[in-house]
Structure 1
C-alpha cells in the first residue's frame, strides 16, 4: 500500500465542503437530504485526501469501477446508492483516522493488516460491501472501547 503516498493526483487535504458534510453527521436529517440529492463527484477525492491515499487506489479497494467514476465526472454527482455507500465509508474512515489520532500512515498500515476479529481478513478487504463496512465499524468500536475480541 506504500505506492499510494507518492505525488501525483494526491490532494493534500479534503475540501471544506467535504469536512462540513462529515461534521453534519450529527444532523441526520441534513445528512439524509444530502445523500438523497446525490453527493458531489469530488467526494471520493476528498475521502482519499482525508486518509492520504490516491483516489484510484481507494476506488479499487472500495470496488468502484472506472466507468462509475467517469459517470460521476460527467454528471458531477453520485446516485443515491453510491452516495449512501461513499458517505458511510467516509464516516468509517474518519472514525478510523480518529482512532489513530489523525496519523494517516498508521491508518493505512491498519487497513492492510489482517485482523483476528475479521477472520484474518484486512479491514480494506471488507470495505466494498455494506456488510463489510459494518464489520469494520464494529471492530473500530471494540478497539475504541477496549473490548477484547
Structure 2
C-alpha cells in the first residue's frame, strides 16, 4: 500500500506513524514548515522507515534550504542531482523514492540535531560547520553527501546526547 501525504483524512491509518502530534508540529515550526500538506510531508520524512513507499510532493524541496541552512547547490549534491534537476523536481507531483530516502535521512539528522542542541538551531548549524575529531577532523556538513557520512553524523549526534564528545 502506497502511503500518501496528500489526503489528510488518511494520515492516522498509517500505523500511527504519520499522526501529527503537538511535538512534531512544534519541531516543524522550528524550521518554518507551514501548511498541513508540508507539515505531514515533513513528519512522514522524519518517521520514514523504508518499509512502505511514501508519497512526498516535489514542492517539499522548496522547504529544504530553510531547514538545512544550506544553498541549493549543496542540497542538490546531497540528493545526487544537478541544480537544474533539483529545480525541475520541485515541479513534480511526487518525488522518486530514491530522493525520498535521501531527504528522509537528512530530515532525521536535523531533527535529532535540534533535539541534541535543545532547540537551538544556531548552535546546531555552528556544530555542523565545526571540525569534529570523531569524524576524522571533518565538518559534519561535509559528510551529509553520502549515506555513510550521514550515519556518521547521526552517531556523532548520539554521542552529544550521551555527553560523550570527541
TM-score normalised by L of structure 2: 0.66
Bigger Rg, structure 1 or 2: 2
CA RMSD in angstroms, aligned pairs only: 2.7
TM-superposed deviation, 1:77: 2.6
Indicate the residue corresponding to 1:13 in structure 2.
32
TM-superposed deviation, 1:114: 0.5
- Alpha-carbon contact 1:40-1:78 (below 8 Å) kept: yes
Provide the secondary structure at the position in 2 that maps to 1:75. coil
The equivalent position to 1:106 in structure 2, one of 103, 107, 123, is 123
The equivalent position to 2:83 in structure 1, one of 66, 72, 89, is 66
Provide the secondary structure at the position in 2 that maps to 1:102. coil
Indicate the residue corresponding to 1:33 in structure 2.
53
Q: Deviations over 1:31-79 (max 9, x none)?
A: 7331xx4x2223233233334x265265256364212213213323321
Structure 2 gap ranges (5+): 1-30
- Alpha-carbon contact 1:126-1:136 (below 8 Å) kept: yes
TM-score normalised by L of structure 1: 0.73
- Once the two structures are superposed, the pairs formed by residues 1-149 of structure 1 within 5 Å of their partners are 13-15=32-34, 16-24=36-44, 25=46, 28=49, 32-34=52-54, 37=55, 39-51=56-68, 53=69, 56=72, 59=75, 62=78, 64-149=81-166
Equivalences, count: 133
Distance 1:22 1:133, change over 3 A: same
